Amino acid sequence: MSTEDLERFEADAELALYREYRDVVKIFKYVVETDRRFYLCNAVDVKVRSETGDAYFEVTLSDAWVWDIYRPARFAKQVKVLTFKDVNVEELQDSDFKVPPGTV
């Protein structure tokens, strides 16, 4: 497989992932962003832990969709994320997930 073939494969996979996101975003209530992943979910709980002295976040998501181009199954019933980095949680509103006509 050439570099050009690999780049074309990744571009096609990213476009397919975006289209899937566009189709599923309407069924979710929250957007959660961590240093490694982007999630859509219907319930999220963020706890700050510091058992060892260093603070970290324990993020629990329910009914989640994971933005990951290489993941064959992007829907997950329950996801738990542990991270020392920032976690961003946003509640979606109707106007947040309307895709303009003619987009992709």
Residue 83: give the domain boundaries: 3-91
Per-residue pLDDT at 34? 93
Least confident stretch, 15-24, 39-48, 91-100: 91-100
| Cβ-based neighbour number of residue 83 at 10 Å | 14
pLDDT digits (tens, 9 = 90+) for 34-61: 999 999 999 999 999 988 788 999 999 9
Q: Is 97 within the bounds of a domain?
A: no
pLDDT-derived band at 72, boundaries 50, 70, 90: confident
* 102 in any annotated domain: no
The larger pLDDT score, comparing residue 51 to residue 100, is at 51
Number of domains in the chain: 1
28 CA to centre of own chain: 11
Q: Domain for residue 67, yes or no?
A: yes
100 in a domain, yes or no?
no
Q: Is residue 45 part of a domain?
A: yes
**83 in any annotated domain:** yes
Looking at residue 93, its pLDDT comes to: 84
